[in-house]
Amino acid sequence: MKRDFVRFCCGLLLLACHQASAQGDGHSLLWRISGKGLPSDSYLFGTIHLVCPDDYLWTDAMKQTLTASEQVCFELDLNDPGVLQSVSKGLSLAGSDKKLEDYFSKQEWARLSRFMHDSVGMDLNLLQQMKPEALETILATRAVGCSFPSSYESNIMEQAQQSGKEIRGLESAEEQLEVMSSIPSDSLSESIMQTADSFAQARAEYAQMLDAYKRQDLPALYEHIQHSKDDAGMDMNLFLDERNKKWIPEMAQMMQSKSTFFAVGAGHLWGENGVISLLRKAGYSVSPIR
């Protein structure tokens, strides 16, 4: 169950108290990147991928730094139709000899179908051509608690487009899908059933994470994710650390050419192998903005 929110939010952040003191207090979602010969400052912002409009946090500093940047970079280039098509194809079972129900026992499928009908208002049979990862994403979206959640990525991209900024991505859709597909199917099915059977708890967990996000408390967010990792038996090194390390050279190249506003899941920011720490190890100055 908790694996949903690790990946849905995109993963989130930190280790322990001694690391918090080494990296600053960590109480900010927005960070300035400077030094190492950069021609201008760039910025790092931690998102939570979906949130109810009443919980949407967007400060003057966030608005001003986005405006000041020459380009915007997400985990994926969300402005590229090819990326969205690749994601859609990667989550589809079309052309396969399997259906979604094949990942569950008959008893689980019946229970899951009742839950989707009664609690989500959706006929599960309409999703037969989708992989379990897609269903997991739907459940995570419903855990947000409102009918029409807002997306930081969509809102930031809209503002970037309106001002004519270039939009880029740190990794390809194939790279991200490869990470998702590394989860054993039986573990994924078990996670989905746990979410469906304990949906109230799933919503409570999301509320706790959202509270830490709104307080801009990266250490608390990361600790929440660390506990989720332990409970789910999930390899966070693959989902966060290795991806973070691959991003640093890409970020360096972008920042050297243009002031960049990086918007990635807040779970990537904190920790020994978080983006903040890795940028500092690479010689950059990374400081919080509140």
Q: Residue 229 pLDDT more than 70?
A: no
What digits encode the pLDDT tens for the residues 60-73? 999 999 999 999 99
Residue 9's pLDDT is 42
- The mean pLDDT of 171-188, rounded to a whole number, is 85
- The mean pLDDT of 39-56, rounded to a whole number, is 95
Q: Residue 231 pLDDT more than 70?
A: no
Q: Residue 253 pLDDT more than 90?
A: yes
The 3-state DSSP class for residue 72 equals: strand
At 222, the pLDDT band (50, 70, 90 cuts) reads confident
What would the DSSP string read from start to end of 43-54? EEEEE-S-B-GG
Strands 71-74 and 42-47: unpaired
Q: Residue 20 pLDDT more than 80?
A: no
Q: Residue 51 pLDDT more than 80?
A: yes
- The mean pLDDT of 10-31, rounded to a whole number, is 54
Nearest to 282 by CA among 256, 258, 259, 260: 256
192 burial level (CB within 10 Å; 0-12, 13-18, 19+): buried
Biggest CA pair distance of the chain: 61
pTM, to two decimals: 0.87
Catalogue the E-assigned strands of the chain: 30-34, 42-47, 71-74, 166-169, 260-265, 285-289
Strands 260-265 and 42-47: parallel
Q: What is the mean pLDDT of the chain?
A: 87
At 107, the pLDDT band (50, 70, 90 cuts) reads very high
- The mean pLDDT of 194-210, rounded to a whole number, is 90
Q: Which domain holds residue 148?
A: 2-289
Domain count, the chain: 1
Nearest to 70 by CA among 146, 140, 164: 164
- The mean pLDDT of 16-40, rounded to a whole number, is 74
Residue 19's pLDDT is 37
**pLDDT above 70: percentage of residues in the chain:** 88
Q: Which amino acid is at 80?
A: D
Residue 47's pLDDT is 96
Q: Residue 188 pLDDT more than 50?
A: yes
Q: Residue 11 pLDDT more than 60?
A: no
**Who wins on pLDDT, 226 or 177?**
177
**Who wins on pLDDT, 205 or 247?**
247
Give the up-direction half-sphere exposure of residue 33: CA atoms within 13 A in the CB hemisphere: 30
Q: Left if phi > 0, otherwise alpha if psi is -120 to 50, otherwise beta: which for 38?
A: beta
**Who wins on pLDDT, 238 or 7?**
238
**Who wins on pLDDT, 108 or 240?**
108
The 3-state DSSP class for residue 114 equals: helix
- The mean pLDDT of 80-96, rounded to a whole number, is 91
Q: Residue 236 pLDDT more than 80?
A: no
Residue 4's pLDDT is 42
Of 159-173, 233-247, 262-276, the one with minimum mean pLDDT is: 233-247
Q: Give the integer Cα–Cα distance in Å for 92 and 240.
A: 24
Q: Which amino acid is at 111?
A: R
At 55, the pLDDT band (50, 70, 90 cuts) reads very high
Q: Residue 18 pLDDT more than 50?
A: no
Q: Which amino acid is at 119?
A: S
